Amino acid sequence: MDYFLISGGKRLRGVVEINGAKNAALPIMAACILCEGEVTLHGVPDLADIRSMELLLNKLGVSTTREPGNTLRLKVEDEMNCHADYELVRRMRASVCVMGPLLAKRGKSQVSMPGGCAIGDRPINLHIEGLKALGAEPDLIGGDVILKAKKLTGAELFLGGPFGSTVTGTANVMMAAVLAEGRTVIESAACEPEVADLANFLNACGARISGHGSPRITIDGVKSLHGCEYTIIPDRIEAGTFMIAAAITNGEIRLRNCKLENLLAVVDRLRHIGVNIEREDGDVIVSSARRLEPIEVTSQPYPGFPTDLQAQIMALLCLADGNSVITEKIYPDRFMHVAELSRMGARLRKEGPTVIVEGVKRLIGAPVMASDLRASAALVLAGLVAKGETRINRVYHIDRGYERIERRLIALGADIERLSDASEE
């Protein structure tokens, strides 16, 4: 199994190109089930999760051809299979994104109910309620959610839950509604840029969606969708992670292909910490002149601070000059990184969904364990600045969401190595 060895203390400097967004690419790939004709997607990152989605789509009769430069061609060849089995869904929760398209195009979807995961409970009740409102009949057999509908009909529905809306749930309902008869209005829809990107993709295929990017999305059903050529938006979470890498190492990184307008909450928090963020010639330059101020951060649905950067900003705030308060409002248990950062000398006190971060002068390298994608990124960031050597085990978690991160960090001057240890479980 692969692990990273990092010798901390190098200032990162240079240019990094931000890839297409994983969380936009995954539902857009699933949406290809709806299309008649070939789809060409540009900016599809080469990640473990993307390969899992390819495998699932292949099983569902969609051919996928990867071309150089992160281009992926997809085409429906066979519409017989409607089953996303446990093996695939267990590997990647975003597999549930095939539910809406299968139901709308093939009249049936059978998707294994995802279990719990490292970041906490992740139910899909809102997905099912939304699809039911369009006319689907749900059943649960052998751990699989089975949805059937001879015909879907537009409806007005509400997708809010106890923690706000649902990103992939909004995607599922929107994908089903594009082929439903009549108008669907999703109230309390997720406003995340990845949902808006999916809507833009569907419109490019002939769908009639408006209001995406706001909490009220209107979809007028059409008879069919055609193929198209489309470029995935840049990954705001990857961009935010590299911004924090510049800040934590007291370096200077120029980000190419970065949509700063999708990161305003992150920019706001980083500027309050004392990080400089400027636009120049279409790029974003992030630098820090040390002395990090403590702040309060609360993760919220978009346009609030993203939960997917909560772990990374915690790593940064470990080194601030005072006490910070981080509150997680999307996944109250998403704190697996707390114990690992503490092994590196961080002073963290967890109280319910809040962590009090007492700034320390330095972090100290240690062997730590990656538990999930973003927690792993936080450990890498901590390792980049820690005194001495940090060993991060189970880096397959980070490979799910960051394409060859060690190579890109090395190009920026980091001392990080990927090694393999057959005996590590």
Catalytic residues: 117
Q: Which of 25, 29, 32, 126 binds ligand EPZ (CB under 6 A)?
A: 126
Instruction: Judge contact between 168 and 176, C-beta under 8 A.
Output: no
307 binds ligand EPZ (CB under 6 A): yes
String of DSSP letters for 288-346: E-S-PPP-EEEE-STTSB-GGGHHHHHHHHTTSSSEEEEEESS-TT--HHHHHHHHTT-
The total number of residues written for the chain in this structure: 425
**With binding defined as CB under 6 A, does residue 87 bind ligand EPZ?**
no
Find the shortest distance in angstroms from Cβ 293 to ligand EPZ.
Answer: 26
Task: Please pick, from the candidates 160, 161, 294, 367, the single residue that binds ligand EPZ as defined by CB under 6 A.
Answer: 161
Query: Could you say whether residue 125 binds ligand EPZ (CB under 6 A)?
Result: yes
**Tokens 């509908």 -> residue:** 149
Tell me if 86 contacts ligand EPZ by CB under 6 A.
no
Q: Which residue number, 254 or 374, has a Cβ lying nearer to ligand EPZ?
A: 374
3-state secondary structure (DSSP) of residue 406: helix
Q: Please identify which residue in 373, 379, 381, 385 interacts with ligand EPZ, judged by CB under 6 A.
A: 373
Which CB, 166 or 257, lies closer to ligand EPZ?
Answer: 166
Stretch (H or E) spanning 284 = strand 283-288
Of residues 4, 201, 242, 331, which one binds ligand EPZ by CB under 6 A? 331
Any idea of the CA torsion for 136, 141, 144, 147, to the nearest 10 degrees?
Answer: -10
Minimum separation from the CB atom of position 401 to ligand EPZ (A): 5
One character per residue 374-393, x = contact with ligand EPZ (rule: CB under 6 A): x-------------------
CB of 285 to ligand EPZ, least distance (A): 25
**Minimal distance, residue 248 CB to ligand EPZ, in Å:** 19
Span interacting with ligand EPZ, options 40-48, 157-165, 344-352, 355-363, rule CB under 6 A:
157-165
Do 357 and 348 touch, CB atoms closer than 8 A?
yes
167 contributes a contact to ligand EPZ by CB under 6 A = yes
Q: In the chain, how many H helices and how many E strands?
A: 14, 26
CB of 186 to ligand EPZ, least distance (A): 13
Q: Exposed/middle/buried for 136, CB within 10 Å: 0-12, 13-18, 19+?
A: buried
CB of 119 to ligand EPZ, least distance (A): 6
304 contributes a contact to ligand EPZ by CB under 6 A = no
Distance, CA of 105 to CA of 82 (rounded, Å): 10
- Dig out the tokens for 102 from the structure: 């299968």
Minimum distance from residue 93 beta carbon to ligand EPZ (Å): 6
DSSP state letter for 233: P
Phi, psi of 173 (to 5 degrees): -70, -40
Q: Which two tokens stand for residue 121?
A: 């409970």
Q: Is 138 in the site for ligand EPZ (CB under 6 A)?
A: no
Other CB atoms within 10 A of residue 128 CB = 20
| Contacts (CB under 6 A) with ligand EPZ, residues 397-416 | 401
Which of 166, 249, 257, 262 is in the footprint of ligand EPZ by CB under 6 A?
166
123 binds ligand EPZ (CB under 6 A): yes
3-state helix/strand/coil string of 175-193: HHHCCCECEEEEECCCCCH
Alpha-carbon gap, residue 178 to 202, rounded angstroms = 8
Binding site for ligand EPZ (CB under 6 A): 23, 26, 94, 121-127, 161-163, 166-169, 190, 194, 307-308, 330-331, 373-374, 401
